[in-house]
Amino acid sequence: MAGHSKWANIRLRKGAQDAKRGKAFTKAAKEIIIAAKAGGDPAGNARLRSAIAAAKAVNLPKDKIEAAIRKGTGQDAGGELFEITYEGYGAGGVAIIVETATDNKNRTVAEVRHAFTKFGGAMGESGSVAFQFDRMGVITLDKEKYADEETVMNMALEAGAEDVQDEGDVWEVRTAMGDFNTVREALEAEGVEMMEAQLAMVPRMQNPIDAETAKKLVRLTDALEDLDDVQNVFTNADFPEDFDPEA
């Protein structure tokens, strides 16, 4: 199964360096707050361990990580967050999953619905598209640092990963949901530098789209990702190889 196209990863890399940094920090902190609700000690809380690893991957400062844990455990105020997932369709019938973390459900659903409507999509019922995705661990490695496919493949499989996908300028190491922490920690122990490490919704089948549809879809996913309450947006779109969203 092909990935979500090269440009998405290029944007991910650029995004980590510019205006999206603030958003990346907020997102990482929210995930820690939610994870820490189940206990503030990473040793006994696998989700908190992954949340901290994801936060370190985007260079969230240590004091912000600790503050987020305190909010999650209730030591400090500000931990009242709910996780809600929305489903819908974009241009070309592309399936979209939007994961949110919010302190105000009414605001969030209104904003998400508005983005879908404004950019040619439609919200669906709960369960309307989720069956088209699998929850998997996805660890992204930079090809400039890790050029040799065989080395990456051996390293990943030895750590317990299921698969490595070539995504243009990055490798995506994919793991079963239950193995995600084990694989990530094994790679960490080997000193592997990760661009991203997260549990993602990976499409079972991809929906090939043309450049025109791709442009419309990008406007919708950008609008969704820019919402303060949105944590992740996943689609089953298979973008054209040479697609340039700026063109």
pLDDT at 247: 66
- The whole-angstrom separation of Cα 61 and Cα 164 is 30
3-state secondary structure of 233: strand
Determine the CATH number of domain 82-131+205-238: 3.30.70.980
pLDDT at 101: 96
Question: What is the fold of 133-203?
Answer: Alpha-Beta Plaits (3.30.70)
Per-domain boundaries in the chain: 6-73, 82-131+205-238, 133-203
Burial 118-140 (b: 16+ CB within 10 A, else e): ebebebbeeeebeebbeebbbbb
pLDDT at 16: 45
Q: Residues 123, 224, 84, 49: is their CA dihedral positive or negative?
A: positive
Q: Are 216 and 120 in contact (CB under 8 A)?
A: yes
pLDDT at 19: 57
Q: What does each C-alpha distance from 128 to 96, 115, 131, 236, 245 come to in angstroms?
A: 10, 18, 7, 13, 28
Look up the CATH architecture of domain 6-73.
Orthogonal Bundle (1.10)
3-state secondary structure of 232: strand
Task: Give the dihedral of Cα atoms 145, 147, 150, 156; nearest 10 deg.
Answer: 30
Same CATH fold, 133-203 and 82-131+205-238? yes
pLDDT at 30: 96
- The whole-angstrom separation of Cα 17 and Cα 214 is 24
pLDDT at 169: 86
Tell if the pTM clears 0.85, that is, is over it: yes
* Distance from chain centroid for Cα 105: 21
Written as tens digits, the pLDDT of the chain (247 aa) is: 334 444 454 444 444 445 567 888 999 999 999 999 999 999 999 899 989 988 988 889 999 999 999 999 999 998 999 999 999 999 999 999 999 999 999 999 999 999 999 999 999 999 999 999 999 999 999 999 999 999 999 999 999 999 999 888 899 999 999 999 999 999 999 999 998 888 899 999 999 999 999 999 999 999 999 999 999 999 999 988 777 776 6
pLDDT at 137: 93
- The whole-angstrom separation of Cα 148 and Cα 168 is 13
- The whole-angstrom separation of Cα 29 and Cα 52 is 9
DSSP character string of 87-127: EEE-GGG-EEEEEEEES-HHHHHHHHHHHHHHTT-EE--TT
* Distance from chain centroid for Cα 87: 15
